[in-house]
């Protein structure tokens, strides 16, 4: 499985080092959020890697939903039981809860399908900040705190109408931002295609914290900082 370099498993305990998490964020998801940098004071494992590890361990089900409830730190030992039901929760070895999963319908363990699904979805996530959230903030005249930019991955879900695919492409079809004081709730709806055939739909929700009135200088600085991390990593 292509995820092998990004985690360590001993019996039923799965852990992700800061280096592994950072490599996944940058190398697979093209996500340069500084919170995934190895030396970040508020470092956390990408939610997309947790999502990917669940699919790698338990397969891809026709209908799935993921609710993210905690930020996983460097080397935290997560319990991944050998078998689970249609509703389960990922805890650490101290019983702290991080992720709740519900699933139903047909389940596939096909590595080709699972890898394509993961790669397509996390690549979409990696583009969220510069291609989706920044234009959305400009449109609504708000921005997150440039000194402590925090975007919280809240949930994602999807429904597959067909398993007749070896390759999936994801496209954003709807986006919405609801503002309540300093909080912004973002909903992104997407479609999953194999060629010209629709194979599924899904949605992702994010929370923008510390909203304030838009200042172009501050927003541009965040974008430039994000872009510089990409350039430094890719060497282009």
pLDDT in tens, 185-199: 999 999 999 999 999
As a whole number, mean pLDDT of residues 18-39 equals: 91
User: What is the structure's pLDDT at 235?
Assistant: 61
Cα–Cα distance between 74 and 222 in angstroms, integer? 25
Residue 142 reports pLDDT greater than 70: yes
pLDDT score, position 110: 96
Q: What is the mean pLDDT of residues 44-72?
A: 96
Which pLDDT tens digit goes with each residue over 195-212? 999 999 999 999 999 999
Q: Distance from CA of residue 96 to its chain's centroid?
A: 20
d(CA 217, CA 25): 27
Q: What per-residue confidence (pLDDT) applies to 146?
A: 86
pLDDT score recorded for residue 151: 87
The H or E element spanning position 104 is strand 97-108
Q: Which long-range contacts (CB under 8 A, 24 or more apart) does 220-225 make?
A: 221/146, 222/134, 222/143, 222/144, 222/146, 222/149, 223/130, 223/134, 225/34
For position 32, what pLDDT does the model report?
86
Asked if residue 149 lies in contact with residue 133, where contact means CB atoms within 8 angstroms, the answer is no
**Rounded-to-integer distance, Cα 47 and Cα 154, Å:** 9
- Domains, in order of start, for the chain: 4-234 (3.10.129)
3-state helix, strand, coil in the chain (%, to 5): 35, 35, 30
Question: Within 13 A of 226's CA, how many CA atoms are on the CB side?
Answer: 23
The CA radius of gyration of the chain, in Å to the nearest whole number, is 18
> 101-140 pLDDT, tens per residue?
999 999 999 999 999 999 999 998 888 888 899 999 999 9
> How many Cα atoms sit within 13 Å of 187 on the Cβ side?
8
Whether 88 shows a pLDDT value over 80: the answer reads yes
- What is the pLDDT confidence band of residue 234, given thresholds at 50, 70 and 90? confident
* Cβ pair 115, 59 in contact under 8 A: no
Q: Is 105 left (phi over 0), alpha (psi -120 to 50) or beta?
A: left
Please give the mean pLDDT across all residues of the chain: 93
Of the pLDDT bands very low, low, confident and very high (cuts 50, 70, 90), residue 1 is confident
Closest-CA residue to 170 (of 123, 106, 128): 123
> How many other C-beta atoms are found inside a 10 Å radius of the C-beta of residue 203?
16
């Amino acid at each position: 499985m292509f995820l092998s370099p990004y985690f360590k498993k001993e019996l039923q305990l799965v852990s992700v080092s800061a280096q592994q998490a950072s490599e996944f964020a940058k190398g697979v998801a093209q996500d340069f959020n500084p919170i995934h940098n190895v030396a970040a004071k508020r470092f956390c494992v990408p939610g997309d890697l947790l999502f990917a590890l669940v699919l790698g361990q338990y397969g891809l089900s026709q209908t799935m939903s993921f609710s993210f409830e905690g930020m996983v730190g460097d080397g935290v030992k997560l319990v991944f039981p050998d078998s689970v039901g249609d509703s389960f929760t990922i805890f650490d070895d101290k019983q702290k809860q991080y992720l709740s999963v519900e699933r139903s319908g047909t389940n596939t363990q096909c590595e080709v399908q699972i890898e394509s699904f993961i790669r397509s979805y996390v690549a979409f996530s990696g583009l969220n900040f510069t291609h989706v959230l920044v234009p959305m903030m400009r449109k609504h005249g708000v921005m997150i705190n440039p000194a402590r930019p925090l975007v919280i991955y809240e949930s994602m879900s999807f429904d597959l109408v067909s398993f007749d695919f070896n390759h999936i492409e994801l496209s954003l079809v709807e986006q919405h931002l609801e503002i309540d004081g300093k909080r912004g709730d973002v909903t992104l709806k997407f479609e999953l295609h194999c060629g010209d055939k629709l194979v599924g739909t899904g949605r992702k929700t994010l929370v923008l914290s510390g909203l304030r009135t838009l200042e172009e200088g501050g927003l541009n600085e965040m974008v430039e900082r994000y872009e510089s991390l990409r350039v430094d990593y890719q060497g282009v």
